[in-house]
Amino acid sequence: MQDFGGGDEIRFERAGKAGLVTLTRPKALNALTHGMVHALSKALTAWADDPDVALVVLQGEGRAFCAGGDIMRVYEAGKAGKPYYDFFADEYRMNAQIARFRKPYVSLINGIVMGGGFGISFHGSHRVLSENAIFAMPEVGIGFFPDVGGSYILPRLKGEFGLYLGLTGERIRYGDALSVGLATHAVPAEKFGALVAELCESGEPDAVLKRYCITPPRETDEAAAHAINDAFTPADLKGVIAALQNAPASDDFRKKTLATMLTRSPTSLNIAFRQIRAGAMLSMDECMAMEFRILNRMLEGHDFYEGIRAVLVDKGSKPVWRPGSLAEVSEAEVERYFAPLPAGELQL
């Protein structure tokens, strides 16, 4: 055991040639706390220059890998008039730290991975999903935006699948994740125990994973994949909506996709569209600086707190977004979210 902080929420071990990290909040679906973020960052700093650590292996206890950040703490802080800027600043720095980590960083995802869980895993070199993995970036459904580096990864997925995921919050499994480049490997859950042991023993993830990986079929059929690439190609959000609205009556996938998007925060949809399109041309560090600008405005606004209220506080109630429709969101308001921060930008 190695102590980098984090208490009983995250465990660090030196196992053979690996630095082994285990998220240990299974009752909370391993949701990230500020302490966990600090601890993981300290571990990566120490292991980056440790010649006895050949790779990092990250896993989660229980039925979830990591379902996101500890969003209720963020909600309560904001409602108390003390927005949780520091948590996100440290989380975003840690996301960038993972992206630039020079050694193999192997995330073993056997369960739910969303939001903050995406941020601590998918910026690493090896993203291994089992058949139990469920991935989503559901932020637009709670009046937020696909952060923790979503700006960097989503536009780099094959076709327009990343934009589709960001604007709908839909869940996918390992076949889709592998086919679009989100996952690097798929391994049956029953093999994870043996896989961890071999990774720690050999320190050579490519060779080990080659022996364990499979190629599952894609869950999204060809017609739906074509619809995604066609409907999410337009240069603006209005064009995407029009492409979905003008679908043939027989196209159930496009109708369902449009219906899903129209339940999301109109402000969040506009922000997510712009950030994902912009992120395609930015470095990881530039994406994190952009996201921190957006984050500051989100924590000062209405929809994020309203979304959390509806989904987690008054569970099952319908959020009342402000503005309430896409037509009411002005370009000037969207621009405001991306403007430089008067108090200074995120320092990475």
Within this chain, do residues 205 and 99 fall inside the same structural domain, yes or no? Answer: yes
Residue 346 lies in a domain: no
Assess if residue 153 is contained within a domain.
no
β partners of residue 23:
10, 60
163 in a domain, yes or no?
Answer: no
Nearest CA-CA partner of 143 in 334, 328, 318, 304: 304
Q: How confident is the model at residue 106 (pLDDT cuts 50, 70, 90)?
A: very high
Residues 181 and 255 in one domain: no
Is residue 86 within a helix (H) or strand (E), and if so which, with residue range?
helix 85-99
Give residue 249's pLDDT.
83
Q: Does 330 lie in the same domain as 201?
A: no
Rounded-to-integer distance, Cα 77 and Cα 297, Å = 15
pLDDT at 112: 97
Do 271 and 309 share a domain, yes or no? Answer: yes
With respect to residue 122, please indicate whether it lies within any of the assigned structural domains.
Answer: yes
pLDDT digits (tens, 9 = 90+) for 206-252: 999 999 999 999 999 999 999 999 999 999 999 999 999 998 888 99
Q: Are residues 16 and 101 in the same domain?
A: yes
Residues 57 and 180 in one domain: yes
Residues 6+ apart with CB under 8 A from 210: none
Does residue 20 sit within a domain? Answer: yes
| pLDDT bucket at 92, cuts 50 / 70 / 90 | very high
Is 100 inside any structural domain? yes
Instruction: Check whether residue 296 and residue 196 sit in a common domain.
Output: no
Can you give the residue range of the structural domain that contains 253? Answer: 222-338
Residue pLDDT, tens place only, 140-184? 999 999 999 999 999 999 999 999 999 999 999 999 999 999 999
User: Between the CA atoms of 5, 10, 14 and 18, what dihedral angle is there, to the nearest 10 degrees?
Assistant: -120
- Our count of domains for the chain comes to 2
Q: Rounded to 5 degrees, what angle do the CA atoms 275, 145, 69 make?
A: 130
At 4-44, the pLDDT tens digits run: 999 999 999 999 999 999 999 999 999 999 999 999 999 99
Same structural domain, 235 and 206: no
What amino acid positions are annotated as catalytic residues? 69, 116, 139, 147
In a domain, 166, yes or no: no
Examine the fold and report which residue of 212, 231, 266 is the final residue of a domain before the chain moves on. Answer: 212
Q: In terms of domains, do 315 and 258 share one?
A: yes
Mark whether 190 and 328 lie in a shared domain. no
% of the chain with per-residue pLDDT over 90: 95
- Contact status, residue 284 vs residue 149, Cβ threshold 8 Å: yes
Q: Average of pLDDT values for 122-141?
A: 98
* End-of-domain residue from the set 212, 235, 259: 212
- Domain end point (choices 163, 189, 212): 212
**246 in a domain, yes or no?**
yes
CATH, residue 206: 3.90.226.10
Nearest one of 156, 46, 24, 31 to 103, comparing CA atoms: 46
Q: What is the pLDDT of residue 316?
A: 82
Question: Is 200 found in the same domain as 298?
Answer: no
227 and 263, same structural domain?
yes
Residue 279, pLDDT score: 98
pLDDT at 136: 98
- Residues 290-295, mean pLDDT to the nearest whole number: 98
